[in-house]
Amino acid sequence: MKRILLTAVTSLAMFMSPILPAMASNAYPERPVRVVVPFPPGTATDMAARLVAEQLQRSLGQSFVVENKPGAGGNIGAMEVVRAQPDGYTIMFASNSAAASNAALYKQIPYDPTKDFTPIAGTGVNTLVLMVRDDFPARTLEEFLAYAKKHPGKLNAGYGSSSSQICAAMLAKLGGLDILTVPYKGITLAVNDVIGGSLDFTFVDVGNAMAQEAGGRLRSIAVASADRNRLMPHVRPIAEILPGFDITAWFAIVGPAGIPKNIVDKLYHATAQALQDKGVVERLATAGVTPAVQTPDQLASFIASEVDKWKMLVKESNIQPL
């Protein structure tokens, strides 16, 4: 009788074992969730991530703790996520750098954006602004281009993301300029050096651009998107002078490959709901971010297409991969 009972219990345990993880994941999240941001505090990525994390915490009833892991253009933060357990407790609020363009900017990165991430939700887009110190001798894009051509090899541009790097390189190519580019761990660090005088210009996300412009320390010359940005309608697009110039950054939530679908769906729906909130939309606008929701399937296709797009942009910009 004992043998029969033991066999029955063993069989029941074997039957239940594949069900238990699913039952546990249905209760997700049961502990705090890490939200890795692959850039320093104060960047548009960081500001948007904190707003969305705050809403996810309210919606799902657990802490969503933002951790900044800057470096290598976002690759360091990306690898934190790629190596994590695919249980939904480590996710990344990524920009196009880590999720797409780094595949073109580096000869070899230790992950594949199309295979090593679980796409969760597209979240928003952002525009970059060409900015100089307020005492810079050029006030318009035409004057800026003319000044740069009169001083070949003398202007220094700092970049803190793949988008800002490609903006600077594309500006040099299409404008026929000879400039020196300097890498930074984040756009805010490049901004500080423009203000301090060791850099001549940089490309800044709209949120930081609005703040710097309001403070009177930096001046906006032009936006990198093909059209004027609704948050800074007074700033002309570079494309008006240099046709074909159109670079827009974007944000998305991803996790390590293999996160269960029910967890992905829960995170997606909570994110989509947050991005429909009027208050969230208004607060994102202060960071220069416009919500752009994508489902996991849409995001997967989008990332694949963006990897190809950024490879083309890097090639056209004459950037030599690191």
Query: Looking at residue 44, what is its pLDDT?
Result: 86
Which pLDDT belongs to residue 188? 85
pLDDT tops 50 at residue 22? no
Closest to 282 in 3D by CA, of 273, 291, 292, 295? 291
- Check for a shared fold between 33-126+248-316 and 127-240: yes
**Is the model more confident about 39 or about 271?**
271
Give the C-alpha separation, 111 to 95, whole Å.
16
Q: From CA 243, how far away is CA 254, in angstroms rounded? A: 34
pTM to 2 decimal places:
0.82
Spell out the residues 6+ positions from residue 301 whose beta carbon is closer than 8 angstroms to its own: none
pLDDT, tens digit (0-9, with 9 covering 90-100), for 252-295? 999 999 999 999 999 999 999 999 999 999 999 888 899 999 99
Computed over every residue of the chain, the mean pLDDT equals: 90
Say yes or no to pLDDT of 301 above 60: yes
pLDDT score of 2: 40
- pLDDT average, residue stretch 173-202: 92
The CB-side HSE value for 167 (13 A sphere, CA atoms) comes to: 33
Residue 317 has what pLDDT? 84
pLDDT of residue 208 exceeding 90, the answer is no
Token pair belonging to 144: 């800026």
8: pLDDT confidence band, cut at 50, 70 and 90? very low
pLDDT of residue 187: 84
Domain 33-126+248-316 has CATH 3.90.105.10: no
Q: In angstroms, rounded to a whole number, what is the distance separating the alpha carbons of residues 33 and 138? A: 47
CB atoms within 10 A of CB 37: 26
Q: What pLDDT is recorded for position 316?
A: 85
Domain ranges of the chain: 33-126+248-316, 127-240
- pLDDT value at residue 138: 95
CATH 3.10.20.90 for the 127-240 domain, yes or no: no
Mean pLDDT over 63-86 rounds to 94
